[in-house]
């Protein structure tokens, strides 16, 4: 066999240590055999196993293949495990980033993001001279989380026996808070709150910030939040106008409610991030909105006049035994409300919820009533305006009159009496008034009622205002015109009633009443409330004549013949014009009128020759006059208020009016 060429087989460097060892063994065996032959000894040699070159080349490769298969298997298994781990990790990452991403982001943001609210300061309410009727001071409300704090105290005691006993700690907190607040509330009441199962309670409100700071330093378990305190320096002064707020600082009654958007202002806010340790992260402040404080509202009322009128109203109620008494004072020319008072007024500086026995509303604008004879001014003005009579005209007035199916009588028995037109109103004759109203007719009379503003809200900007009720002409029955001219069968508020007389005081031009004079922004900018446009009711001449005729109502006469029904309203040295009123109240049980329950009214102008003030009064079912004297007249209350106003403002005395007015022809 030809030996393979050197270069045809694997080289030695490729054989590896096992092949080299075998060649070495074979060379050693050959050498031994050669030596034995030379020595002449016959040595039996085992036949050598023959290995072809192919075998020599193939055998190592086969052994290497077995080892490589094992390695590949392990490698693949490892890769599979790694792939599985990566796949699970990717799935988890996908779960976090996609389906739960928004929730996790919100959760993370909630842990870091903080928004602080900067509370706006509520605006003041001031009177026409700038005196404060309501203003706000900064205060604190002390709060506590009973369930949470007790749990924390119990856990702290469990971990550290030297920690304070939970019950003793609650007692310490109650004692500390009560002492700092002057025992209001007392420790027992506070401890009851601390032991409750509530998640959150208020321990005290309207706390001075300095006192609250001391309490929270000594009792960190107690929370403190800003809760401004509304101050009403006059107490119940003008409370029926001003109203009040709730504990959250929102308007609840009166102007505090209707003007809440102006008074409240706009809270500010700022957002920032805070770390888990509670420390603000530097540079994280954003979304900064500065608070805009509320505007100041200036009223037309004068707090001195309001105080006096309110005092007089309460006194009249007490002396007369009336169910309630209400008064309104207007500026005769501008229609501005100078005072608006009722009795039994609540105190907005105290808890309103505990004053259920007090009058929380404003009867002057929200409680209409049948006015009685003060409504006769409509007939007086109509007759003069349409040229249907004159003040000195004498009418033969009987004691009763039939209209449709109704017989109307005067309040006193009399036969036919020669009353002047002036005397009809001075004596308040129902019969004479209806005789004059028939000259006017229903249509023109109703038109005059509308000009006087009845049946429509005044727009005075006070909440809860009623329009009263005037039935339309097309709904009148045959007897309607027997009641309406004498003030029965229609209703009005006291402010509407005063507004009628303001028109006569202002030369026939009615100016809708207003109570808001101006608003003053937090920057000091002043915005005057627009003056309402006037409504021409009657001519200047008619208004002047009506004023002069109504002087007869307060005229005195020792004989009584030329004396009016409201003589107690007279003020020495001044000409006064006015009108008394008495109206039966409706019995809701039968829908008919009571025989002995009345509305008593009075409306007047002071002075009549140079009007400055218009005063409207209403007494609900009095048993005596406003001054406690026999009768049921409100005229004494007018006398007190008008006399005080004229003297306070040094109004010049009226000129001599001349001879007394003639009410009854002789």
Per-residue model confidence as pLDDT tens digits over 331-356: 999 999 999 999 999 999 888 888 88
Give the C-alpha distances (Å, rounded to integers) separating 362 from 254, 263, 344, 462, 553: 8, 20, 11, 9, 29
Residues contacting residue 463 through CB under 8 Å, at least 6 positions apart? 243, 253, 254, 255, 257, 258, 362
How far apart CA 456 and CA 469 sit, in angstroms, is: 8
Residue 509 banded pLDDT, cuts 50, 70, 90: very high
- Output the pLDDT for position 63: 53
pLDDT value at residue 405:
87
Is-contact 463 455, C-beta < 8 A?
no
Q: What is the pLDDT of residues 135-144, one digit of tens each?
A: 999 999 999 9
Res 177 pLDDT > 80: yes
According to the model, what pLDDT value does residue 12 have?
Answer: 42
| 78 pLDDT more than 80 | no
8 Å CB contact between 503 and 543: yes
Q: What is the mean pLDDT of the chain?
A: 88
pLDDT for 40 equals 43
**pTM above the 0.85 mark?**
no
Q: Hey, which residues are catalytic here?
A: 373
Report whether 463 contacts 258 (CB < 8 A).
Answer: yes
Looking at residue 67, its pLDDT comes to 55
Mean pLDDT of 484-489: 96
Confidence at residue 73, expressed as pLDDT on a 0 to 100 scale: 66
**pLDDT grade for 16, boundaries at 50, 70 and 90:** very low
Name the band, by pLDDT with cuts 50, 70 and 90, for residue 117: confident
Please give the backbone phi and psi of residue 623, each rounded to the nearest 5 degrees, phi first. Answer: -105, -15
> Which of 241, 229, 252, 230 lies closest to 127, judged by CA?
241
Least confident window among 37-41, 266-270, 359-363: 37-41
User: Above 90 in pLDDT, residue 279?
Assistant: no
Q: Which residues contact 10 (CB under 8 A, 6 or more apart)?
A: 56, 57
The position carrying tokens 């270069």 is: 7
Query: Strand 125-126 relative to strand 296-299: parallel, antiparallel, unpaired?
Result: parallel
- The average pLDDT across 275-296 equals 86
**Peptide bond preceding 22: is omega within 30 degrees of 0, i.e. cis?**
no
Q: In 10 A of CB 278, how many CB atoms?
A: 7
* Cβ neighbours for 471, distance < 8 A, ≥ 6 positions apart: 480, 489, 490
User: Domains in the chain, please, with CATH?
Assistant: 123-132+236-295 (3.90.1310.10), 139-227 (no CATH), 303-344+363-648 (3.40.710.10)
pLDDT at site 45: 45
For the stretch 47-59, pLDDT in tens is 444 455 455 555 5
């Amino acid at each position: 066999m030809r030996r393979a060429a050197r270069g045809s087989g694997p080289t030695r460097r490729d054989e590896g240590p096992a092949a080299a060892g075998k060649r070495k063994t074979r060379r050693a065996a050959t050498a031994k055999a050669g030596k034995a032959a030379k020595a002449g000894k016959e040595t039996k040699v085992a036949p050598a196993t023959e290995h072809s070159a192919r075998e020599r080349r193939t055998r190592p490769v086969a052994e290497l293949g077995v080892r490589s298969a094992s390695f590949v298997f392990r490698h693949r298994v490892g890769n599979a495990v790694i792939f599985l781990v990566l796949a699970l990790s990717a799935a988890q990452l996908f779960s976090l980033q996609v389906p739960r991403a928004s929730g996790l982001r919100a959760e993370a943001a909630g842990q870091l993001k903080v928004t602080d609210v900067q509370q706006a300061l509520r605006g003041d309410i001031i009177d026409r001279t700038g005196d404060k009727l309501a203003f706000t001071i900064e205060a604190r409300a002390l709060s506590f989380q009973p369930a949470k704090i007790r749990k924390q105290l119990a856990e702290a005691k469990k971990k550290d026996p030297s920690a304070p006993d939970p019950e003793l700690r609650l007692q310490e907190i109650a004692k500390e808070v009560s002492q700092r607040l002057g025992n209001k509330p007392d420790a027992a009441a506070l401890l009851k709150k601390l032991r409750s199962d509530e998640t959150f309670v208020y321990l005290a409100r309207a706390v001075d910030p300095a006192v609250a700071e001391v309490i929270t330093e000594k009792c960190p378990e107690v929370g403190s939040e800003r809760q401004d305190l509304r101050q009403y320096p006059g107490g119940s002064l003008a409370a029926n106008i001003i109203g009040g707020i709730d504990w959250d600082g929102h308007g609840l009654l009166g102007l505090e409610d209707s003007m809440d958007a102006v008074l409240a202002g706009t809270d500010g806010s700022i957002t920032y991030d805070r770390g888990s340790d509670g420390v603000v992260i530097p540079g994280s402040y954003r979304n900064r909105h500065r608070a805009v404080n509320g505007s100041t509202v200036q009223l037309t009322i004068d707090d001195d006049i309001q105080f006096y009128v309110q005092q007089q109203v309460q006194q009249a109620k007490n002396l007369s035994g009336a169910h309630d008494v209400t008064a309104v004072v207007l500026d005769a020319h501008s229609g501005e409300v100078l005072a608006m008072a009722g009795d039994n007024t609540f105190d907005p500086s105290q808890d309103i919820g505990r004053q259920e026995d007090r009058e929380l509303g404003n009867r002057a604008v929200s409680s209409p009533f049948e006015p009685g004879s003060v409504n006769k001014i409509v007939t007086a003005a109509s007759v003069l305006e349409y040229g249907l009579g004159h003040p000195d005209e004498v009418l033969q007035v009987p004691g009763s009159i039939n209209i449709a199916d109704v017989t109307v009588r005067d309040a006193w028995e009399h036969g036919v009496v020669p009353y002047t037109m002036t005397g009809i109103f001075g004596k308040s004759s129902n019969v004479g008034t209806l005789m004059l109203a028939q000259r006017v007719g229903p249509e023109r009379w109703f038109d005059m009622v509308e000009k006087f503003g009845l049946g429509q809200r005044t727009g005075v900007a006070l909440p809860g205002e009623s329009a009263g009720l005037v039935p339309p002409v097309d709904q009148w029955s045959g007897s309607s015109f027997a009641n309406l001219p004498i003030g029965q069968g229609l209703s009005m508020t006291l402010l509407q009633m005063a507004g009628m007389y303001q028109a006569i005081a202002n030369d026939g031009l009615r100016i809708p009443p207003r109570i808001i004079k101006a608003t003053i922004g937090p920057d000091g900018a002043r915005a005057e409330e627009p003056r309402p446009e006037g409504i021409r009711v009657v001519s200047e001449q008619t208004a002047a004549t009506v004023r002069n005729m109504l002087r007869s109502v307060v005229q005195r006469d020792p004989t009584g013949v030329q004396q009016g029904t409201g003589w107690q309203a007279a003020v020495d040295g001044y000409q006064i014009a006015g009108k008394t009123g008495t109206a039966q109240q409706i019995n809701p049980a039968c829908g008919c009128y009571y025989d002995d329950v009345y509305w008593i009214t009075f409306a007047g102008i002071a002075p009549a020759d140079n009007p400055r003030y218009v005063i409207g009064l209403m007494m609900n079912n009095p048993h005596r006059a406003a001054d406690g004297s026999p009768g049921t007249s409100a005229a004494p209350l007018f006398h007190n208020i008008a006399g005080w106003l004229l003297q306070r403002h040094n109004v010049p005395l009226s000129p001599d009016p001349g001879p007394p007015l003639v009410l009854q022809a002789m």
